[in-house]
C-alpha cells in the first residue's frame, strides 16, 4: 500500500498548549503515516516533549486536536493509550526492582505472556547487552544502562505507534546502532514511529523530519527536501587545526558562517570559488595546514544550524574567554592528572582494571567508552569521591586516596545529571555553590554576575531551575562547577541530550577554558566531540584499549578500510551486505552505511554487483578516511573478537 493512500497513524491539527503565559506548542500540524518513522528535531525548549505528551494524551491541548490510530487524543484517551508505547526522557523505572522485574512489570501491563513474552525478552536482552544485569536493581544501573532498560520496557510489546522522546541520549555509538536496527524491524512490521532526537545523523535516517522552534513547526519534509532550504553553498575544509581555523576565520572573515564537524569545517557561502580563493590565501599566509577543500551537499546539521543558529541564547566571546574569570587561579603541576595502575572493585566485580595515563596541564582530554565501561567510576576516584581498590593517582598534585578534600577544592565537577537544585532559582543555585567553595561578600557577587553572564541567564536569575531547558541547565551547571576558578574541570557527559547549537556554544566555552590553562577532562558519547579533544583514551570493560590524538587513532588504530555507501533504503541492505565475504562489517552512519573491508577494490565490485542485482540504486560508493565513530566501533569489536564473547559486564557504579 502506498503511503499516500493510507490514513495517518498520527495526526496533529493546530495543536497548542499554553502554560500560564508561555506558549509551549503553537498551532503545530503534521502527520505520521503507517510504517513511517518521523523525526521531530529542534533546539532545547522548542516544544518537542510537550508535543509528544499531548499526542499520548498525557496532557490536554489548550486548543487544536490530534489522533492516534484514528482515536481522538481528547475524547478517546483510553483507546489512544492502547495504541501506543511511549518512552519519555524521565526514566519510567522502579529503582528497587531488578532489571527482569521491571521488564516483567511492563510485560504484565501490556498483557504479554507465554512464549511471546519469553521470545521478546530474550531478543531485547541480547540487543541491549543487558543479559548480565538481569538481577541488578534498576537504581544501581548507570544512566546509560537505565536508558537501555527503558528501551526494553517500551518495546516489550509491539505497539501500533511508538513515541520516543530522545531515546538514545547517553547511549554509546554501538548501542545506538543496534537500537536503530530494532526500529527498522518495527517499521517493517508496520509500526509508525515518532521520535525526537538531538542527534542529527539519526534525523537523517527518518522518512520525514519536522523542524520545530519556539513551539512552531517551521519546516516539514524528507531530509532531502529540508536540505534544499539551505540557500548557500557548503564548502568542506579538512584540517587537524579545525578549531583554530574557525577562530581565525571568525576574525578575518566575520561575515562567513563557519561550523566545525570534528576535523572538518563547513563554510556557508554564496560564491564558493571566491570564498575558496580568499580562505586558502589567508590560511597559506598564516601557515595553517589543510588537506581538502571541496563543495559538498548540505547535511541536516547545516540546515539546523543555518535556520536556528541565531535564535538561541548567545554566549559572548568576551565573557567566555576573559582571562580574569577563567584563569585557573591555582597553580598545578605540569601533569594535571597522573594515574598509575588504578583499579576499583565492587565485591567480585572489577569496574576499573589496572589503568594508567597522564593528562598534561591545559589539555582537553577525552575519556571514551561504551555504557558501563568504567568511565564514571574512574572520574569519581579522581575527584576524591570513591576510594581506589588498587593503584594510585594524583590530581592537581594531590593524592586521590589520602588528600581527597584538597582535590575537591582544586577541581570542578559536572556530573551527567547536572547537580543543580531544581526547586531553587538560578541565582540561589549559584549562591549555594559559591558558599560551598568558600566564596562570600564582594567576591561571590562578582563571580555570580560572571556566572549569569557566561550562562546567558541574566534575565532568568529569579526563575526556578526546573523550568530551564537542557541547554540552559547545562551552562548553569558548568558555571556553578567553575565558580571558584579551579585549574582542572571534570565533565561527565556534559552535552548528553543537548541540541547541536547548544553543544557548539558549550564547546566554545571549553576551548576558552583550555586556552586559559584550565585542564578539561571530559567523557562523551558524541564521537564528533572526541575529535575536538587534544588526546583521547578509550576504555572498555574497565581497561584502556587505545590512547592518542584523534588523528593518530584514525590513522593507525584501524587495519581495515572504510567504504561510504549511499543508496536507497540503506538500512535494509545491511544483512545482505554482511553475507559478502569481502565485507567484514556494516553499520549505519547518518543517511548511509559505513562498510569495513580489507580490500576496497574487491568489496566495491561485490557490493555493486549485489545491489544492482536487487535493483537498488547506488548514489555513492567510495573509500573514505575513518571517522572517530568508525575507530570506536572497530576497536571495541576487535576486543570482543579476541575475547570468548563473555562480557565481564556491569555498569558505571
Where are the domains positioned within the chain?
A: 3-227, 233-297, 319-543, 559-625
Top-level CATH class of 319-543? alpha beta
Convert the pLDDT of each residue in 621-636 to its tens digit: 999 888 888 898 888 8
**Three-class HEC string of 583-626:** CCEEEEECCEEEEEECCHHHHHHHHHHHHHHCCCCEEEEEEECC
Are the CB atoms for 288 and 242 separated by under 8 Å?
no
Q: How confident is the model at residue 653 (pLDDT cuts 50, 70, 90)?
A: very low
Mean predicted confidence (pLDDT) in 333-349:
93
Convert the pLDDT of each residue in 492-517 to its tens digit: 888 877 777 778 778 888 888 888 88
Q: Give the span between the Cα atoms of 623 and 185, in whole angstroms.
A: 28
Q: Give the span between the Cα atoms of 388 and 258, in whole angstroms.
A: 44
3-class secondary structure, 516: coil
For residue 521, give the H/E element and its range: strand 519-523
Determine the pLDDT at residue 639: 86
- 3-227 carries CATH number 3.40.50.300: yes
Q: Give the span between the Cα atoms of 181 and 58, in whole angstroms.
A: 28
- Rg of the Cα atoms in the chain: 25
DSSP H helical ranges for 236-382: 242-252, 272-286, 300-308, 317-321, 323-326, 375-382
Q: Give the span between the Cα atoms of 60 and 38, in whole angstroms.
A: 22
State which fold the 559-625 domain adopts: Alpha-Beta Plaits (3.30.70)
Least confident of 58-67, 327-336, 435-444, 487-496: 327-336
Q: Which residues contact 210 (CB under 8 A, 6 or more apart)?
A: 30, 38, 39, 40, 41, 217, 219, 220
Q: In terms of pLDDT, which residue wins out, 211 or 302?
A: 211
Name the residue among 459, 449, 501 with its Cα closest to residue 479.
Answer: 449
What one-character-per-residue DSSP string does 65-78 give? EEEETTEETTTTHH
Q: Are strands 398-399 and 390-395 parallel, antiparallel or unpaired?
A: antiparallel
Instruction: Say what the pTM is.
Output: 0.82
Convert the pLDDT of each residue in 80-111 to its tens digit: 988 998 988 776 789 999 999 999 999 998 88
Is 209's pLDDT higher than 90? yes
Is 325's pLDDT higher than 60? no
CATH number attached to the domain at 233-297:
3.30.70.790
Q: Cβ atoms within 10 A of the Cβ of 491, count? A: 25
Mean predicted confidence (pLDDT) in 23-39:
94
Please compute, for residue 352, the number of CA atoms within 13 A of its CA located in the half-sphere on the CB side: 28
Q: How confident is the model at residue 3 (pLDDT cuts 50, 70, 90)?
A: very low
Say yes or no: do domains 233-297 and 559-625 share a fold.
Answer: yes
The three grid cell numbers given for residue 279, joined into one nine-digit string = 580562505
Q: Give the span between the Cα atoms of 74 and 288, in whole angstroms.
A: 60
Residues 371, 139, 646: CA angle, nearest 5 degrees? 40
Is 1's pLDDT higher than 80? no
Instruction: Determine the angle formed by the axes of helices 470-481 and 426-436, rounding to 10 degrees.
Output: 20
3-class secondary structure, 357: strand
DSSP H helical ranges for 110-168: 114-128, 143-155
* Helix, strand, coil % in the chain, rounded to nearest 5: 40, 25, 35
Are the CB atoms for 550 and 363 separated by under 8 Å?
no
Amino acid at each position: 500500500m502506498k503511503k499516500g493512500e493510507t490514513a495517518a497513524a498520527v495526526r496533529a491539527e493546530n495543536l497548542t498548549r499554553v502554560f500560564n503565559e508561555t506558549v509551549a506548542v503553537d498551532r503545530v500540524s503534521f502527520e505520521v503515516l503507517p510504517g513511517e518513522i518521523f523525526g521531530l528535531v529542534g533546539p532545547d525548549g522548542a516544544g518537542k516533549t510537550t508535543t509528544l505528551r499531548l499526542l499520548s494524551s498525557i496532557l490536554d491541548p489548550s486548543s487544536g486536536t490530534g489522533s492516534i490510530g484514528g482515536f481522538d487524543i481528547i475524547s478517546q484517551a483510553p483507546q489512544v493509550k492502547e495504541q501506543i508505547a511511549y518512552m519519555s526522557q524521565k526514566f519510567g523505572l522502579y529503582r528497587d526492582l531488578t532489571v527482569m522485574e521491571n521488564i516483567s512489570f511492563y510485560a504484565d501491563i501490556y498483557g504479554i505472556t507465554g512464549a511471546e513474552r519469553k521470545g521478546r525478552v530474550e531478543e531485547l536482552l541480547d540487543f541491549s547487552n543487558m543479559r548480565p544485569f538481569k538481577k541488578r536493581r534498576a537504581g544501581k544501573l548507570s544512566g546509560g544502562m537505565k536508558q537501555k532498560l527503558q528501551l526494553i520496557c517500551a518495546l516489550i510489546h509491539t505497539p501500533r505507534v511508538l513515541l520516543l522522546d530522545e531515546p538514545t541520549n547517553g547511549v554509546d555509538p554501538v548501542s545506538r546502532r543496534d537500537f536503530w536496527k530494532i526500529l527498522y524491524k518495527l517499521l517493517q512490521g508496520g509500526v509508525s514511529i515518532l521520535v525526537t532526537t538531538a542527534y542529527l545523523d539519526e534525523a537523517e535516517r527518518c522518512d520525514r523530519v519536522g523542524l520545530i522552534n519556539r513551539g512552531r513547526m517551521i519546516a516539514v519534509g524528507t531530509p532531502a527536501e529540508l536540505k534544499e532550504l539551505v540557500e548557500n553553498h557548503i564548502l568542506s575544509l579538512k584540517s587537524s587545526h579545525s578549531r583554530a581555523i574557525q577562530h581565525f576565520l571568525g576574525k578575518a572573515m566575520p561575515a562567513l558562517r563557519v561550523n566545525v564537524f570534528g576535523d572538518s569545517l563547513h563554510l556557508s557561502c554564496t560564491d564558493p570559488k571566491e570564498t575558496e580563493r580568499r580562505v586558502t590565501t589567508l590560511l597559506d599566509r598564516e601557515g595553517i595546514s589543510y588537506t581538502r577543500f571541496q563543495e559538498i551537499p548540505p547535511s541536516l546539521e547545516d540546515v539546523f544550524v543555518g535556520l536556528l543558529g541565531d535564535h538561541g541564547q548567545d554566549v559572548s566571546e568576551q565573557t567566555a574567554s576573559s582571562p580574569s574569570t577563567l584563569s585557573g587561579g591555582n597553580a598545578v603541576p605540569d601533569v594535571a592528572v597522573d594515574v598509575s595502575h588504578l583499579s576499583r572493585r565492587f565485591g567480585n566485580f572489577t569496574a576499573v582494571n589496572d589503568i594508567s595515563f597522564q593528562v598534561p596541564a591545559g589539555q582537553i582530554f577525552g575519556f571514551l567508552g561504551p555504557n558501563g565501561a568504567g568511565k564514571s567510576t574512574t572520574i569519581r576516584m579522581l575527584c576524591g569521591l570513591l576510594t581506589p581498590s588498587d593503584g594510585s593517582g594524583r590530581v592537581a598534585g594531590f593524592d586521590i586516596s589520602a588528600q581527597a578534600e584538597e582535590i575537591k577544592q582544586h577541581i570542578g565537577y559536572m556530573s551527567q545529571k547536572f547537580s543543580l537544585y531544581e526547586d531553587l532559582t538560578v541565582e540561589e543555585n549559584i549562591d549555594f555553590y559559591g558558599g560551598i567553595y568558600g566564596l562570600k561578600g564582594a567576591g561571590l557577587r562578582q563571580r555570580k554576575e560572571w556566572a549569569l553572564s557566561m550562562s546567558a541567564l541574566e534575565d532568568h536569575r529569579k526563575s526556578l531551575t526546573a523550568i530551564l531547558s537542557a541547554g540552559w541547565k547545562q551552562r548553569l551547571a558548568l558555571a556553578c562547577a567553575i565558580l571558584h576558578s579551579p585549574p582542572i574541570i571534570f565533565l561527565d557527559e556534559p552535552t548528553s541530550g543537548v541540541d547541536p547549537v547548544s553543544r557548539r556554544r558549550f564547546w566554545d566555552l571549553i576551548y576558552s577554558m583550555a586556552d586559559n590553562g584550565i585542564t578539561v577532562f571530559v567523557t562523551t558519547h558524541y564521537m564528533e566531540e572526541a575529535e575536538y579533544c587534544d588526546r583521547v583514551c578509550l576504555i572498555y570493560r574497565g581497561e584502556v584499549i587505545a590512547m592518542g590524538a584523534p588523528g593518530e587513532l584514525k590513522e593507525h588504530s584501524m587495519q581495515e578500510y572504510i567504504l561510504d555507501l549511499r543508496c536507497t533504503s540503506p538500512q535494509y541492505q545491511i544483512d545482505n551486505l554482511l553475507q559478502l565475504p569481502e565485507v567484514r562489517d556494516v553499520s549505519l552512519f547518518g543517511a548511509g552505511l559505513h562498510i569495513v573491508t580489507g580490500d576496497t577494490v574487491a568489496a566495491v565490485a561485490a557490493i555493486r554487483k549485489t545491489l544492482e542485482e536487487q535493483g537498488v540504486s547506488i548514489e555513492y560508493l567510495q573509500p573514505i578516511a575513518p571517522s572517530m565513530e568508525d575507530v570506536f566501533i572497530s576497536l571495541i569489536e576487535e576486543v570482543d573478537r579476541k575475547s570468548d564473547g563473555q562480557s565481564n559486564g556491569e555498569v558505571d557504579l
